[in-house]
Chain A
Amino acid sequence: MQCATFLDKNKFYPKTVYSYIILLILFAGSSCKKNFDYHPNVENQLVVLAEITANDTSHIPVSQSIVAGSGTVIDFQQVNNAAVSITDQNGQVRQLTYNTSPNFSGIPAGIYTHPGLFKAAVTYSLQVGHPSLPTVSASTYIPAVFSIANIESEEEDFHGKPVLEFSFNVKDNAGEKNYYIFEAVKELIHLFRYFYWQGVLYDYDTPEGKQLYEHLIDEGENVKLNKDTLPTNKFLRLNTFTSDPLTANSQLHSLDSSFNRIFLTDSLFNGQTYATSFFIDRTFFKATNPDEKGIVEIRIKSVDKAFYDYLLQYEKYKIDFGTMPVNQLTTPVGNIQNGLGIFGGSYMNEKKYYYDVL
């Protein structure tokens, strides 16, 4: 308002100017006292990190977030009191139950399971309710059945690394846009040694079982020690490499780098057969440590687009972590409404290799 006054008079009065400057200084000075105070105005949310696969059972991990930078200890708690249900596109609902199996004890998420199998080319919707956190929901599509052919595997050397080159042809479905992910894991197995005595099964690897078995042998009893390999539901990630320039990995990092997953879309071969290969690090194929013995599983998946996008961003996140400030990391964007994470559908072709003597 002062400006209008002195301009109207076509004159500048120095005192007015000095007053104006002083006002500016006072205004600016008062602003200086404000400091950045980081208090994100957010509440914790449910986190779902689930992949559902055709011909497999339900296995939905549910966890909850921690508010970043709040001084909270980073220790994720299993959510064991959620109400989890999955509905298919025909309205058929399956209620999942919290699984207390020791196989899931070390996971930072509660596991909810159901024995029903998923089908290909079907859309499923997930809903997770919680007593104190907002209910979350998501839906995903399990792609149609696809096949791979002309599978060949050969031991090679890739930039000095011992690898297994896995070559195959993808027979792409013409009717839909397909998103492929290739990965390799080693499923750790548990060697279960047991024997039967008087119709009762005894675990040889417990102190009591071993003591009884040795006692029976000493007594000359005809007791047979049996061996069985049981899946532990624990896996080792095997690093993969690609030289295929059509893969999205070429946009993530240099192609002589290792990746957790290989990403490919059918943009350039929709409805056709596409020949490709990728390389799997052989370092952990044969385990010297008994705890790392297992079965090498090579998985060729066709996945839902949202799932593909999430895992691609997750791959980028893992590459950049440590080399970039936290605020510069690519945040994987999922499809969970009112919550965080991903609910992704996949159809999987799997090939198993047994390198360890089990």
Chain B
Amino acid sequence: MRKKIILLLLFVCCTSSFIYAQRKGLLSRSFQPQLHKGYVHQFLDDINKRSGIIIEYSSTTLDADRTVTLDGSETTIGAVLKKVLQGQHVALLEKNNKLILVKSASVFHTEETVTTYTVFGFVKAQNNKEPMIGASVYETSTGKGAATNPYGYYNLSLPAGKHHLEISYVGYNTGSLDIVVSSNTRTDIELSENLEKMEMPEIVVVDVEALKKNGAEKINADQYQPYNYLLGENDPIRTAYLLPGVKNIPVAFNGMFVRGGGPGENLFLLDGIPVYNPAHMLGALSIVNESSMKTMQLYKSDFPSKYGGATSSVIDIYTKDGNMEQWQGEANVGTMAGSFTIEGPLAKNKTAIMASFRHSWPFQLYKKSIKPDFYDIHFKATQLIAKNDKLMLNFYTGHDNVNQVGENIDNLHKWGNLVGSLIWNRVIGSRSFINTSINMSRYHNLGAFKYSLLEEEDEGEGGEGGEVEIESGSVGTFASNELYTAKSQAEIYVNNAWKINAGAKFAHTIIKPFETKISGEIDDDESSYTAFAPLSFNEISAYGEVEIKAGPDFFIRPGLHFSAYQYETYHFNSFQPRFFAAYRINKFQQIYFSYNRMTQYLHLVTNPYLGMNADIWVPSTDKLLPEQSHSFNLGYTYHSTNGIRFSLEGYYKELKNVTNYAEGKTYFINNENWAQNIITGKGWAYGLELLIRKNSGKLHFMGAYTLAWSWRQFEGINNDEKFPFKFDRRHSISLGVDYQINKRLNATALWTFSTGDVFSLPEYIYPDFDMVQQISNPTDLLKDYRFIYHGSENDQYRSAPYHRLDANVKYQLSGQGKKQWIFSAGVYNIYGAADQYIYDLKGTIGGVSTLIENNLKTFDITPYLSITFKF
């Protein structure tokens, strides 16, 4: 019943919007008054004489002798009447092709007299014609404004007449444009780069903060650049890791954790294409190269209806189209890798390409705990077809091959992504924009580790006993995924107050699981793993939402995402209501609220305790139900006139059918029973997030604090009681400071801290059951380990806290023309802190039971240097 009401409301909203949009009448007729200043009756007579339209009125109906002054922007009957009848107690009727003024108890409703038209088009950068995402288009006299969508498209309804537009975008000069609106008008706008800007882009401080329309955190590629260095690689995704509620745990692989969710609950979109594992080097570095990225939007508190398939967050990355004007490029040589990006027009202002390539060095210049070997290639071609159509061809591939070899570790990780898409943007009429695409995403992952069991050697003559290996072997997993999608998303701009977003998607996923292989040595040959029958499923989804500006300071966005899922004979329909509302308290402060229900059909089954990348994606079945989340968020924002922004957000999230980290389970032992080896449970996460930042002036800083709780509950684990999630880090802090020493030189320091992770350890050791029955197995090599470890609680201990300090100095040297050299040097992990603490127990019969502590560091104290040449 509740679902039906929601659908009905949406239908009513949509229908009424269309009716409103189609209102037209005599008022829209073009008319240029002869008078600039005069009495009311003079203007009405002028219309009667020269426009061909009759206005009937009585002198007793209105104050016909009031003096009126026009400003010259009035170009229609409606625009003139709006000014002439302002403040009069009359109403306007339209009958038999006549306009009749009648007495009214209320003041004349001026809005009804004016025909509105649509001004629409694209906002682009002047130097390269790159569409700008989130640029502001603002009409000064009416106060109407709009922001560009992810493809640079804007749509603004304005009354007929002359208007002054101001267009602004971070890092660019504010543009202005005078236009006369007498019909729907396509107006493309170009902004020039602010070459006088400080190295860190200034935040444009406007008198009134724009009313929030979503809870996304929008990050431009260069916005927080100083904080993003990892051994000379500028990784824009690292900015997201600094935000409250987001954790990056490098050694946890694919290691992004948002608000108590696991890494499998994040949807990473590269130009709209899902990427299963968007990380290099076990999660330390993202696949996104700064030189190819344009903007990133992170959704963790509010999920617009177009997003589905992730219960914790959506990271939506948009890359550059390519320079339509001229060829340009960038080469980077860092301590860890080298990269090269080139972009330019194949046909000026019509066809552009962008290609980037990055590869780790075959040698290492730093102290290593892992041996990275990765590359990524990104190619994009953009073709403008006529004025209203644009085609984009996207291709990305990347691969990692990481060996972790150390005193207690011998792991191999190989994974890679291959994604591609063809995207078609079309402007339909003056009020609609549609984005249609076909996408493909493939992922393969092989993880293996070698283990050995040691036995204490008999003491020699000197009384010294060593350890001898009595058994060794390796465990390996391999799996691959393929995803094919076709989707279409439309934006319909009814007027400035109403916008409708709607779309549909079809997705076909094929998961190819393979056996868990146990052998003597690590086997990195993917073809040697025995394949099981592919697990395939289909999903059809549709969504609709209405963006309603219910006043100058109030915005709501009700929406619904629907999806239908089919795996073999299992079928599941999911109605996912979404709601966002924002209220502007005053020009400095806003509050906002959101509710989201999300459903996810893919389960990421993994076990971070194994110390290896054992990620396997599996589909939902009648036993392994789809994962779902409900979340409520309440936020507050404040911005000051000197560029300081502060936000505080509280959230509560419930998770159903989570599968992550079901301890002690082995997956894909055989094809028939894989689902029985995966258990599902419940989860809760709640907390407070605080963010403060200043991005203007010489001193920039940001500080983020998270207070969070995250719980899990599985039947049969921890006596069915809830227990803390593995990465339940109570406090997290990020502090970044960037100081502009002069125009060319700036220095940055970044410090992060978080509470340690929870973990389990057995409390007792007691005799082996068979041993007590006097049963011995002659084939058992582990005679010295014939006892039982007993643990009564899950995650009852907490590790030492994590913290790290990085520092960076950047020097910018301009060369001739466009040529520019950027030197960056710094130290990563200045005091050599660990990324993860792992605890285990050691002991054999007759030996001592002791605790082992492993401090894992992806990178120890590592100085680095990076040289970037732009041309």
User: Do A and B come together as binding partners?
Assistant: yes
The chain A residues found within 8 Å of chain B, CB to CB, are: 3, 7, 10-12, 14, 17, 20-21, 24-25, 28, 31-32, 34-36, 38, 40, 42, 44-45, 47, 49, 51, 61, 63-76, 104, 106-109, 185, 233-237, 239, 245, 250-255, 258, 260, 281, 283-284, 292, 310-311, 314, 316-317, 320-332, 340-342
Q: Are A342 and B769 in contact (CB under 8 A)?
A: yes
In angstroms, Cα B760 to Cα A216, docked, is 69
B569 within 8 A of A: no
Which of B644, B666, B676, B797 lies in contact with A38, CB distance below 8 A? B797
In angstroms, Cα B610 to Cα A220, docked, is 73
A335 to chain B, nearest CB (A): 13
B interface, how many residues as a size bin? Answer: 35 or more
Q: Are B849 and A42 in contact (CB under 8 A)?
A: no
Residues facing A in B53-69 (CB within 8 A) are none
Contacts of B610 in A (CB 8 A): 324-325, 328
Q: Are A49 and B789 in contact (CB under 8 A)?
A: no
B800 within 8 A of A: yes
Closest to B702 in A: A21
B859 to chain A, nearest CB (A): 19
A80 to chain B, nearest CB (A): 15
In angstroms, Cα B839 to Cα A305, docked, is 34
A323 in contact with B669 given A25-B735, A237-B777, A328-B609 (CB within 8 Å): no
Which of A31, A34, A316, A317: most chain B CB closer than 10 A? A31
In angstroms, Cα B848 to Cα A72, docked, is 5
A72 in contact with B849 given A42-B763, A108-B772, A340-B764 (CB within 8 Å): yes
Q: Are B664 and A328 in contact (CB under 8 A)?
A: yes
Closest to B672 in A: A245
Closest to B792 in A: A331
Contacts of B735 in A (CB 8 A): 21, 24-25
Which of A68, A73, A108 lies in contact with B763, CB distance below 8 A? A68
Which of B586, B611, B800: most chain A CB closer than 10 A? B800
Q: Are A24 and B451 in contact (CB under 8 A)?
A: no
In angstroms, Cα B775 to Cα A329, docked, is 22
- Against A, the Cβ 8 Å flags (1 = close, 0 = not) of B789-802 are 11110000111110
Q: Are B453 and A322 in contact (CB under 8 A)?
A: yes
Q: Are A325 and B475 in contact (CB under 8 A)?
A: no
Contacts of B791 in A (CB 8 A): 327, 331
Contacts of B782 in A (CB 8 A): 321-322
Residues facing A in B764-799 (CB within 8 A) are 764-767, 769-780, 782, 785, 787-792, 797-799
- Against A, the Cβ 8 Å flags (1 = close, 0 = not) of B836-866 are 0111110111111111010000000000000
Q: Are A25 and B751 in contact (CB under 8 A)?
A: yes
Which of B640, B769, B797 lies in contact with A314, CB distance below 8 A? B769
B433 to chain A, nearest CB (A): 38
Q: Are B766 and A341 in contact (CB under 8 A)?
A: yes
B673 within 8 A of A: yes
Contacts of A258 in B (CB 8 A): 779
Which of A34, A73, A281 lies in contact with B848, CB distance below 8 A? A73
Would you list 7 pairs from A and B whose C-beta atoms are within 8 A, ordered by A residue? A12-B638, A14-B644, A69-B843, A253-B666, A321-B782, A323-B518, A328-B664
Which of B694, B765, B803 lies in contact with A66, CB distance below 8 A? B765
Q: Are A68 and B664 in contact (CB under 8 A)?
A: no
B493 to chain A, nearest CB (A): 34
A327 in contact with B759 given A237-B775, A250-B673, A314-B769 (CB within 8 Å): yes
In angstroms, Cα B792 to Cα A75, docked, is 21
In angstroms, Cα B609 to Cα A327, docked, is 8
Closest to B705 in A: A24
Which of B755, B763, B767 lies in contact with A109, CB distance below 8 A? B767
In angstroms, Cα B784 to Cα A74, docked, is 10
Q: Are B638 and A7 in contact (CB under 8 A)?
A: yes
Residues facing A in B612-648 (CB within 8 A) are 638, 640, 642, 644, 646, 648
Q: Are A327 and B840 in contact (CB under 8 A)?
A: yes
Contacts of B666 in A (CB 8 A): 252-253, 320
Q: Are B765 and A107 in contact (CB under 8 A)?
A: no
Closest to B472 in A: A322
In angstroms, Cα B775 to Cα A73, docked, is 23
Which of A31, A35, A250 lies in contact with B669, CB distance below 8 A? A250
B756 within 8 A of A: yes
Which of A24, A75, A316 lies in contact with B703, CB distance below 8 A? A24
In angstroms, Cα B796 to Cα A38, docked, is 11
A36 to chain B, nearest CB (A): 5
Closest to B677 in A: A251
Which of A49, A75, A106, A107: most chain B CB closer than 10 A? A49
Which of B638, B664, B755, B800 lies in contact with A329, CB distance below 8 A? B664
B753 within 8 A of A: yes
Contacts of A25 in B (CB 8 A): 735, 751
A66 to chain B, nearest CB (A): 5
Contacts of B644 in A (CB 8 A): 12, 14, 17
Q: Are A76 and B664 in contact (CB under 8 A)?
A: no
Contacts of A331 in B (CB 8 A): 762, 788-792
Which of A10, A74, A185 lies in contact with B846, CB distance below 8 A? A74
Contacts of B850 in A (CB 8 A): 69, 71
Q: Are A38 and B851 in contact (CB under 8 A)?
A: yes
Q: Are A12 and B766 in contact (CB under 8 A)?
A: no
B853 to chain A, nearest CB (A): 8
In angstroms, Cα B610 to Cα A35, docked, is 23
Which of A28, A108, A252, A327 lies in contact with B760, CB distance below 8 A? A327
In angstroms, Cα B773 to Cα A342, docked, is 12
- Against A, the Cβ 8 Å flags (1 = close, 0 = not) of B503-519 are 00000000000010010
Contacts of B731 in A (CB 8 A): 28, 31
Q: Are A74 and B451 in contact (CB under 8 A)?
A: no
Contacts of A332 in B (CB 8 A): 769, 788, 790
Q: Are A239 and B765 in contact (CB under 8 A)?
A: no
Q: Are A237 and B770 in contact (CB under 8 A)?
A: yes
B761 within 8 A of A: yes
Contacts of A292 in B (CB 8 A): 778
Contacts of A340 in B (CB 8 A): 764, 766, 790
B111 within 8 A of A: no
Q: Are A251 and B841 in contact (CB under 8 A)?
A: no
Q: Are A71 and B849 in contact (CB under 8 A)?
A: yes
Q: Are A49 and B772 in contact (CB under 8 A)?
A: yes
Q: Are A31 and B753 in contact (CB under 8 A)?
A: yes
Which of B515, B764, B774, B853 lies in contact with A107, CB distance below 8 A? B774
B360 to chain A, nearest CB (A): 29
In angstroms, Cα B694 to Cα A20, docked, is 14
Contacts of A21 in B (CB 8 A): 701, 703, 735
Which of B611, B670, B673 lies in contact with A325, CB distance below 8 A? B611
B692 within 8 A of A: yes
A205 to chain B, nearest CB (A): 21
In angstroms, Cα B760 to Cα A234, docked, is 36
Contacts of A44 in B (CB 8 A): 764
Q: Are B845 and A75 in contact (CB under 8 A)?
A: yes
B588 within 8 A of A: yes
In angstroms, Cα B667 to Cα A142, docked, is 34
Contacts of A73 in B (CB 8 A): 846-849
- Against A, the Cβ 8 Å flags (1 = close, 0 = not) of B812-840 are 00000000000000000000000001111
Closest 10 CB pairs of A and B: A237-B777, A28-B753, A330-B664, A65-B764, A69-B851, A47-B766, A108-B767, A235-B775, A12-B644, A12-B640
B607 within 8 A of A: yes
Which of B669, B756, B766 lies in contact with A36, CB distance below 8 A? B756
Q: Are A74 and B769 in contact (CB under 8 A)?
A: no
In angstroms, Cα B768 to Cα A109, docked, is 10
Q: Are A323 and B663 in contact (CB under 8 A)?
A: no
A284 in contact with B767 given A251-B669, A253-B666 (CB within 8 Å): no
In angstroms, Cα B776 to Cα A330, docked, is 21
B594 to chain A, nearest CB (A): 22
Residues facing A in B282-306 (CB within 8 A) are none
6 extra interface residue pairs, beta carbon distance < 8 Å, beyond A17-B701, A24-B703, A322-B785: A28-B803, A250-B669, A250-B672, A327-B609, A329-B664, A332-B790
